[in-house]
Amino acid sequence: MSAATVPSGTPIPTETEPESRLRVPSGGWRVIAAKEFGDHILSVRFLALLIILGLAAAIPLYFAAGQIRELAPQATGQKAVFLALFTIGSADYSFLIVSSFVAIVAPLLGLAFAFDAINGERADGTLPRLVAQPIYRDDVINGKFVAGLSVILMVLVAVVGIISGFGILRLGIVPSPDEIARLVAWILVTAVYVGVWLAFGLLLSVLIRRAATSALVGFGVWFVLVIFGSFIVDLIAKTVSPITGSTIDTALPQAQLQKFITQLLPGNLYSDVTDVILNPRLNPSARLPGSIGEAQQAAQQIPNAVMSIGQSLLLVWPQIVTLVGLMVACFVAAYVAFMRQEVRA
Amino acid sequence: MSGVPVPTTTEVARPRDARATSPARPADGHHEPVISTHRLTKRYGTLTAVDRLDLEVYQGEIFGLLGQNGAGKTTTILMLLGLSEPTDGEAWVMGLDPAWEPREVKRRVGYLPDAVGFYDGMTGRQNLRYTARLNGLERDDGEAAIDEVLEQVGLTDRADDAVGTYSRGMRQRLGIADALVKTPDLLILDEPTTSIDPIGVVEILELLRRLVAERGLSIMLSSHLLTQVQSVCDRIGIFAAGRLIGVGTVDELAAQFGDGSAAIEVGLELSSPADRERAGTVLRALASVESVDPPSVGRDTWRLHVRPAGAEGRVRQDILVAAVDHGLRLTALRPIVPSLDDIYRTAVERPAPKRAGIKPKTIRRPDAGRGQP
């Protein structure tokens, strides 16, 4: 804003200054994001990120490559063999699949790159200096969010690229355009999933003054959701709407509530979406039918038919929207909490 | 208190538009207020951190906010920068309302926070570069500004070392450089000399003086260290429990808060205890002398307290005459300027009117025999 918009009755000592001096810069978040990105690249956690996602690529690839080779003769003419690189792995260790592995580590990565975003600045005494610059206060949150997400996505894209390259060069599987579109969609959804946890980490870093405590709380929440998630959902559903009779009508509300809460958990949302996007075959088991109607629909599906990417996305659109909603909710909460906070230590 | 701006009743009635035309404000640019507040108030629950503050800081002056920890200095500064929202009242910084246009204010005001921090892994120059970018300085302009401020604070040869290796004083100077990078019109420094060794303090105070002379900017600094404020500030505001209880130059504050007495330091060459006795009798016998402190440990001069303060000059003459008459050899004879220390103590101890929500803090008196700093 220039001096011209200042109320005319107020003293303007800087009236004679050149116009450029008075210009308030915009896009402070870009400066912050660039600096944070640089910090991340040089940090120890970036090394950890490389190793974790590197392992996520290497180990499942080893198993997947073997399986694909064995199956290749029968799989001639099969559709979506390329995507199998990401969805099959060791028969013995079910989590050693690229997509499952990413589903497990994505929350940890999101938390690791955000848990000390604000309280770290506070502890270093740099926060008052930072917010005393001509930026909006949310530029700080936006910049840090963008930087964290960019770093994680950069590595994820690199890993997906390496796996694809390996598949094309060593195994001789060439992806179809539809498969490439599915991979891109999967990366975008993964970005949103990482974003949920990144925003949650940011929220914790605003609310909790000590970085160590905030890390502990973040990982604790992740642990509880992963290990006790279904148990807690069960508990809530049973408490809120207990089964009072023996007919299906009395049992149904509880089942519905249970399903509703389960679907709100980010991990479940993400795995639902991943299952459908990375697996173009119509697979009734990918999504549990929520109602009798859905079950009937599933029973009428043609076995071994393949859906287009559009149809797959349509199927999981609600889950994607919910994930985005969760991310935005955490983000807004972090934003509001930060705006209301005193700058002083 | 002629030079101290006191809000007139017309201003209270029409705060915004009265400013430009108010006859109380000199028209020439040098005396435009860069900061002005009107009944600025900040409450945290029942605690009133800043209580109806009326303050004006003019262009080209160094203004000192003096007060104990928790007196409301930092809260005031945060409100002036738009980093904290006032509960009531209003503030104008460079003609802008920081509550509504914080970014415009922050573009023009350099701020050194209390206990300033830097990114320890980055060099001093990188830290400043970050600030320059955040202020929208283009590459070349930014680098030129960084070189200039590093030179000014004397950090040029350490600029490319990691901040983690800097001493406390160097960090503080880097903090001032950081506040200067945006070429501000006003510097607000929160406790710029805390936890720095005495030599570092002198360096920083000299730097501030030089900045005002070279750049023509205005400085507002807060401190609880009285002697430093006294040595560098043109005007001083004394803060206690959220209220501004006195504003003015040291002389004006002395007139306002002095207890009506003055002091004279007298040095005499005395060989025996009998001489001391005689000298004491002579000095006590002088007109208007209220009391006489003989030399004590750490101080080899006599101290005479004169009341009323206006008689101080005549008493000095009388001492000279008496010394000649009684054959006493003078080694020193000078009036003692009241230090801010004394003023501050009197000001804070004087019961302030109507303090909302805060119990007045008691101040321990230092030992009676303590010398002047």
pLDDT band at A24 (very low <50, low <70, confident <90, very high): confident
pLDDT of residue B89: 92
Q: Which residue of A has its CA nearest to B18?
A: A9
Q: Which of B58, B33, B177 is nearest to B110 (CA)?
A: B177
Report the distance separating Cα A41 and Cα A109, nearest Å: 14
CA distance B171 to B165: 9
> Lowest-confidence range among A59-68, A86-95, A248-257?
A86-95
How far is A287 from A16, CA to CA, in rounded Å? 68
Work out how many domains chain A is built from and give that number: 1
What is the model's pLDDT at position B350? 61
Domain-embedded: residue A10: no
Predicted local confidence at residue A328, as pLDDT: 95
Does A84 reside within a domain? yes
A-chain residues near B133 (CB < 8 A): 31, 35
Q: Classify each residue of B81-115 as buried b or exposed e, where b means 16 or more C-beta atoms within 10 Å of its C-beta.
A: bbbbebeebbbbbbbbbbeebbbbbbbbbbbbbbe
SS3 B235: strand
Q: Reply yes or no: is the peptide bond before residue B308 cis, omega within 30 of 0.
A: yes
Mean pLDDT by 10 residues, chain B (373 residues): 41 37 41 87 90 91 88 91 91 91 92 92 94 89 92 91 91 93 93 83 88 89 82 88 85 75 84 83 86 81 82 86 87 77 70 44 42 40
Q: Would you identify the CATH topology of the domain B9-256? A: Rossmann fold (3.40.50)
A4 belongs to a structural domain: no
Tell me if A191 sits within 8 A of A146, measured CB to CB: no
A7 within domain boundaries: no
Residue A145 forms part of a structural domain: yes
CA B64 vs. chain centroid, Å, equals 3
Whether residue A97 is predicted with pLDDT greater than 70 in this model: the reply is yes
Categorize the per-residue pLDDT at A95 as very low, low, confident or very high, splitting at 50, 70 and 90: low
Does A3 reside within a domain? no
* pLDDT confidence of residue A103: 85
Contact B98, B49 (CB under 8 A): no
* Interchain CB distance below 8 Å, A345 and B78: no
Q: Where are the beta strands (DSSP E) in A62-177?
A: none
| Closest residue by Cα to residue A242 from A261, A228, A230, A255 | A255
Q: Tell me the C-alpha distance between A280 and B217, whole Å.
A: 68
Q: What is the pLDDT of residues A295-310, one digit of tens each?
A: 666 666 666 667 778 8
Q: pTM (2 decimals)?
A: 0.78
pLDDT tens column, A263-280: 778 888 888 888 888 877
pLDDT of A94 higher than 70: no
B316 in contact with chain A, both atoms CB, cutoff 8 A: no
- From the list B116, B117, B134, the residue facing A28 with the nearest CB is B134
CB within 8 Å of chain A, chain B residues 59-88: 59, 74, 78, 81, 83-84
A32 min Cα distance to partner chain B (Å): 8
CA distance A83 to A164: 9
Higher-confidence residue of B352 and A6: namely B352
- Tell me the average pLDDT of chain A: 80
Among A21-35, A64-78, A146-160, A265-279, the range of highest mean pLDDT: A146-160
Least confident of A4-18, A59-73, A139-153, B97-111: A4-18
Q: How far apart are CA B103 and CA B109, in angstroms?
A: 10
- Using the beta-carbon criterion (under 8 Å), do A13 and B29 form an inter-chain contact? yes
Look at the block and give the residue holding tokens 């009236």.
Answer: A15
Q: Tell me the chain A residues in contact with residue B107 when contact means C-beta distances shorter than 8 Å.
A: 22-25, 134
What pLDDT, on a 0 to 100 scale, did the predictor assign at position A163?
A: 84
Q: What angle do CA A266, A270, A273 make, to 5 degrees?
A: 140
Q: Could you tell me the residue range of the domain that residue A324 belongs to?
A: 27-340
Can you tell me the distance from the alpha carbon of A92 to that of B60, in angstroms, rounded to the nearest whole number? 77
Q: Is residue A11 in a domain?
A: no
Report residue A15's pLDDT band, with 50, 70 and 90 as the boundaries.
Answer: very low
Provide CB contacts within 8 A for B67, sequence distance 6+.
B73, B222, B224, B238, B239, B240
- pLDDT: is A11 or B254 the higher one? B254
Instruction: Answer yes or no: are the C-beta atoms of B84 and B78 closer than 8 Å.
Output: yes
For residue A328, give every residue at least 6 positions away whose Cβ sits within 8 Å of its Cβ, in sequence order, or none.
Answer: A199
Q: Where are the domains of chain B?
A: 9-256, 260-336
For the structural domain made of B260-336, what CATH number should be given?
3.30.70.920
| Residues in A lying within 8 Å of B, measured between beta carbons | 1, 6-14, 17, 21-26, 28, 31-32, 35, 39, 42, 124-136, 342-345
Instruction: List CB contacts (< 8 A) between A36 and chain B.
Output: none
